[in-house]
Amino acid sequence: MELRGVLPPIPTPFHGGELDVEALGRNCDRWLAAGLHGLVALGSNGEAPLLDDAESDRVIEAVRARVPAERLLIAGVARESTAGTVQAARRAAALGADAVLVRTPSIFKAWLTDEAMVEHYTAVADASPVPVLLYNFAALTGVSLTVATVARLAAHPNIAGMKESGGDIGFISELIDATPDDFRLLAGSAPAFYASLLSGAAGGILALAAVAPELCVELFDLVHARRLAEARALQRQLTPLARLVTRVHGVPGLKAALTAAGYAGGDPRPPLRPVGPGAAEEIRRALAALAIRT
């Protein structure tokens, strides 16, 4: 498994509050045609905590049917319990996932010590039939894996890498320096993508790549071609839209952007609510500035 490049954490479309598998398939076809290195199903932007196990399995099955063998399918399998995460990882592997993405547990954050995290991820990695990726999203969970914990876990033969969703380049650099060369750090913050790549990140799992996949791939390619001035200029152009569909408006904003860009976006699943008209117009202007269909 070559863990590199640009992969979007794909949103999950709903119709009338129910999972829309056909719309998901159409979106997947368009994403793959854009040159992405693979897809990530059931991440935070996929509203994974709002789906039950049966729906989650249907999403993985539907996406695997569209993703060819030469491209990656990574499935989010995080549950609050270790046992639940192990079960979800096994199901995802059986449905064809190439790797599983495991967000930190967070409900009992006061007691989630470094040792608890090491035991949790070690148990999941021991049991998972496919490689495990750590997933750190402190802004969402209120929990952050420490550099020391990641360094310990990186020694596990079935833990292949990590998605770090923060934009702290110093922290990203520390993680890269503390882990083996074959442990892949993937950036989760599109505004910090350029800097993350320069720091040694192998790629990115970026919400922005669901809306502007070609441009995110172009940025990755420019950095690897050492055309850094062009890459930096493109990063500056992408950052306003990236912020709108993540930090400012979150999943509802991302879905509004998808709809405006001609994908099947639709509404988020309750209790999340759609963005209002003002936010939708702000997102449309940001898309138009990048010459993305609106």
Could you report the per-residue pLDDT of 153-165, keeping only the tens digit for each?
A: 999 999 999 999 9
- Three-state DSSP state, 121: helix
Separation between Cα atoms, residue 43 and residue 32, nearest integer Å: 18
pLDDT at 273 over 80: yes
pLDDT at residue 19, as a whole number:
96
Provide mean pLDDT across the span 255-263: 97
pLDDT at residue 294, as a whole number:
58
pLDDT at residue 216, as a whole number:
98
* pLDDT single digits (tens) 51-69: 999 999 999 999 999 999 9
Query: Residue 271, exposed/middle/buried by CB under 10 A (0-12, 13-18, 19+)?
Result: exposed
pLDDT at residue 144, as a whole number:
96
Query: Residue 186: left if φ>0, alpha if ψ -120 to 50, beta else—which one?
Result: beta
Q: Of 37, 64, 163, 249, which residue is the catalytic one?
A: 163
* pLDDT single digits (tens) 191-232: 999 999 999 999 999 999 999 999 999 999 999 999 999 999
Provide mean pLDDT across the span 27-46: 97
At 293, the pLDDT band (50, 70, 90 cuts) reads: low
Alpha carbon separation from 283 to 26, 247, 256 (Å, rounded): 22, 13, 8
Per the annotation, the verdict on 163 as an active-site residue is yes
At 1, the pLDDT band (50, 70, 90 cuts) reads: confident
Separation between Cα atoms, residue 25 and residue 59, nearest integer Å: 9
Mean predicted lDDT score pLDDT of the chain: 97
Provide mean pLDDT across the span 17-38: 96
Sequence-distant (≥ 6) Cβ neighbours of residue 173 within 8 angstroms: 199, 200
Sequence-distant (≥ 6) Cβ neighbours of residue 119 within 8 angstroms: 82
- pTM, two decimals, is 0.97
At 125, the pLDDT band (50, 70, 90 cuts) reads: very high
Report the largest interatomic distance among the alpha carbons of the chain, rounded to a whole angstrom: 49
- Only one residue has tokens 């950052």, namely 239
At 238, the pLDDT band (50, 70, 90 cuts) reads: very high
At 179, the pLDDT band (50, 70, 90 cuts) reads: very high
Per DSSP (E only), the strands in the chain are 5-7, 14-15, 18-19, 38-41, 72-76, 99-103, 132-136, 159-164, 184-187, 203-205
Separation between Cα atoms, residue 35 and residue 5, nearest integer Å: 10
For the chain, the distance separating the N- and C-terminal CA atoms, rounded to the nearest angstrom, is: 36
* pLDDT single digits (tens) 82-91: 999 999 999 9
